[in-house]
Chain A
């Protein structure tokens, strides 16, 4: 018994000290061989110089309180930033010259947008597509009344009320689907005690409730009067967001239609779409902006005045649509032919095939490119400054032309660069996350 050998493994020897832990990581990633080590030292030196210079300038040597640029220069010269100028102009950089007592309208408008979108991130909500579409298609009516104000005609009142009604529906849906697990319609029918009634009666009840909410909204909106704010005083980050928001909202559906048109079997439609896309893609945005700025007044019948902001928005929208069309076309081309054939063999028509089979797949594979396009559009809105609109960038430039802060350019540009960077970087990171979440087993 005792001379039976029992195999008892010795414990593993630890990995060599130089290949684990901090030292191993340093060896593997920074000091693999001599040229690599030299590169590391050079890189570290460059990083150190740049970082220390930026930090010294922006924080340690910076002036935080001063009355004018002269005062800043007397204190630290050019070795430190002069932030008070940016501080004084900060509100203008965000809201433009929008009247100070009406700025709450902008804030409220964007707060409503955020509130509208929150249900999209709530996990139990089912009707996300409808909510997302309503945010894109219905919300703008409400927002434009917040931002513009002024007299409203009957149609305008109806649209704003519709917007409010849909907003109520969005949150009712979000709450009922999260806490009760049913859609709003079912909850309403239950409350009315008509659960067992026939379908027609149920529909009647749902519509009736919607109508009541709408009428209440009309009464509210009718009472509610906001003073008009001319678009001439719009500016800053607000203007940038409005232009790029409208551009993004318009470009996706228009781009889809253009791309479908370009691939259409009908020669006239495909030629027209191709001509439009190629023309707008081959010229720089600035020439399109200039063209619309000088030519739109010529194109319109006499007596029709086109707001300068509107001219810029039209130009940006058409430009963005042409670019988006090519992205979507790339997505459409990537759909294998078998998908079309399968749809045809199920007896689906053109629009059914397109909206239910092809587009969902095409849009999904193109998400990174589409978001990349949105980012490009957001950056390109800076070009409206060239035709004289005071967007975020132009506001930053205006700081250096203010007599108190004459020549103060780098600091506001630095601040504005940070704002642009945060927006663009957030968008691109979000798209990467979305891409990973939506990846459905195509890749190994």
Chain B
């Protein structure tokens, strides 16, 4: 390296100070960065000037003052109280809650389904493996939006009228107005059950920690998971029964033309959840499969040589190594579900994008603050998720010698 520069310098040594500066990598880097920065600032300045001019031409303003103005439109499905006269800020809040509801339900269902399909793909039964493969290939090679719309127009919109509803179980009713299910009605004393439940969960976590520490120190195992589960389920149940079951169920009943009582979700919600969780479950299935296959066979053989019982092999050998591969892509799938829930707008489910970026934007005309707030929400979600992921990655990093 040194030789070649020495040989090259006399020939190409420039007399011009400007071109000598250009040959110094550090100075060149500074010049390039300053130029880029100036270019970017000029570009944004140009955009802002154009926008300001266009806004003044159209009598629009870019402020956040509209947030406490009454929105004046109804929302079909809300988790909190909302009336037509409520403010735009309330609409934003309702939209966020609806988006999060879709995300949480779809994530739960997709994880369960994905785990089943992923294990089915690994099954040594030829037929089951093939069926799982067909399911995965078919669903992940077609657009999600198409699936959502097909479920909505093709299935949930064509369900029978309330009078001919499909009754899945006592109180679980499906018709073209939506899905009706019993709502829990807490009565006096139910708080105690909830408190017991929280205490049981804390106790179980403590028990698990203690048993891990004791296992590391003494090698004596304690069935912490089964004991913990028994406490979590048993203690609140016992209190619940002792207090005389202070939780009633409000069961939907057919009255006139529709069902009343219980809670209900619209058909668009059902279509969205079914499509979203089926679509995501394919990706989760592939992640689970890749994770389990990534554990080398030698690990299983070593566990067998140590004569570990099968459930120990799974819990202490396979899962810790597989989870290290599974969790990061799994979390990014969860993030994808949250982002994909925005497709709700295509079938009219009132999520954040639909009520805020579409209806509110068209009603108020405040394009810039509304777009900024929506993006800020999604950025916040994804930043917090990536924060969690970085924390996990740091913890799960292989501790090598």
Contact = CB atoms under 8 A, between A and B. Distances in A.
A421 B374 CA distance: 32
Contacts of A53: none
B343 A267 contact: no
B42 interface: no
A347 B378 CA distance: 45
Nearest to A281: B382
B36 interface: yes
A393 B146 contact: yes
Contacts of B153: 397, 400, 409-410, 413
A420 B127 contact: no
Contacts of A30: 125-127
B367 interface: yes
Interface string B132-150: 0000011001111110011
A416 B127 CA distance: 28
Contacts of A301: 50, 53
A298 B367 contact: yes
Nearest to B372: A291
Nearest to B144: A379
Interface residues of A, number: 58
Nearest to A46: B131
A355 B358 CA distance: 44
B339 to A, nearest CB: 4
A410 B32 CA distance: 56
Given A43-B131, A397-B153, A287 B375 contact: yes
A268 B41 CA distance: 12
Contact of A420 (B29, B146, B378): B146
B353 to A, nearest CB: 6
Contact of A43 (B54, B55, B125, B353): B125
Nearest to B146: A393
Contacts of A286: 342-343, 345, 353
Interface string A76-87: 000000000000
Given A32-B124, A386-B346, A424-B142, A413 B379 contact: no
Nearest to B153: A409
A423 to B, nearest CB: 8
Contacts of B69: none
A299 B44 CA distance: 10
A29 B339 contact: no
Contact of A272 (B40, B131, B143, B149): B40
A397 B340 CA distance: 20
Interface centre among B53, B141, B383 (most CB of A within 10 A): B141
Contacts of B124: 29, 32, 36
B367 A283 contact: no
B296 to A, nearest CB: 13
A313 B32 CA distance: 30
Given A298-B51, A298-B54, A420-B142, A287 B353 contact: yes
A45 to B, nearest CB: 11
A322 B315 CA distance: 38
Contact of B145 (A32, A46, A393, A425): A393
A366 to B, nearest CB: 15
A36 B50 contact: no
A393 to B, nearest CB: 5
B95 to A, nearest CB: 12
A39 B29 contact: no
Nearest to B149: A397
Contacts of B53: 301-302
A272 B339 contact: no
A70 B175 CA distance: 24
B50 A300 contact: yes
Interface string A371-405: 00001000110110110000001000100100000
B150 A413 contact: yes
Contacts, number: 159
A339 interface: no
A295 B368 contact: yes
A89 interface: no
A301 B43 CA distance: 12
Nearest to A291: B371
Interface centre among B124, B138, B142, B368 (most CB of A within 10 A): B142
A284 interface: yes
B247 interface: no
Given A284-B339, A287-B371, A380-B143, A29 B125 contact: yes
Nearest to A294: B367
B331 interface: no
B93 to A, nearest CB: 18
B106 interface: no
Contact of A279 (B4, B128, B141, B375): B375
Given A39-B128, A287-B342, A413 B146 contact: yes
A231 B123 CA distance: 50
Contacts of A379: 142-144
A386 B345 contact: yes
A236 to B, nearest CB: 14
B57 interface: yes
Given A282-B382, A287-B371, A347-B1, A266 B340 contact: no
A397 B298 CA distance: 53
A44 interface: yes
A380 B29 CA distance: 38
Given A43-B125, A379-B143, A383-B343, A287 B40 contact: no
B54 A416 contact: no
B329 to A, nearest CB: 12
Contact of A40 (B36, B128, B154, B357): B128
B47 interface: yes
Interface in B362-385: 367-368, 371, 374-375, 378-379, 381-383
Contacts of B54: 297-300, 302
Interface centre among A40, A268, A344 (most CB of B within 10 A): A268
Contacts of A281: 382
B391 to A, nearest CB: 18
Given A29-B124, A40-B128, A345-B1, 11 more contacts: A282-B381, A282-B383, A286-B342, A287-B374, A300-B50, A302-B54, A344-B1, A386-B343, A386-B346, A410-B154, A420-B146
28 contacts: A30-B127, A39-B123, A43-B125, A43-B131, A47-B131, A269-B32, A269-B36, A281-B382, A282-B379, A283-B339, A283-B382, A285-B339, A290-B353, A290-B371, A298-B50, A298-B54, A298-B367, A302-B57, A344-B1, A379-B144, A380-B143, A382-B146, A385-B346, A386-B343, A409-B153, A413-B149, A416-B146, A420-B142
Interface of B: 1, 4, 29, 32-33, 36-37, 40, 47, 50-51, 53-55, 57, 123-128, 131, 137-138, 141-146, 149-150, 153-154, 339-340, 342-343, 345-346, 353, 357-358, 361, 367-368, 371, 374-375, 378-379, 381-383
Which 8 pairs from chain A and chain B are nearest by CB? A282-B382, A29-B126, A424-B141, A379-B143, A268-B33, A284-B339, A409-B153, A284-B342
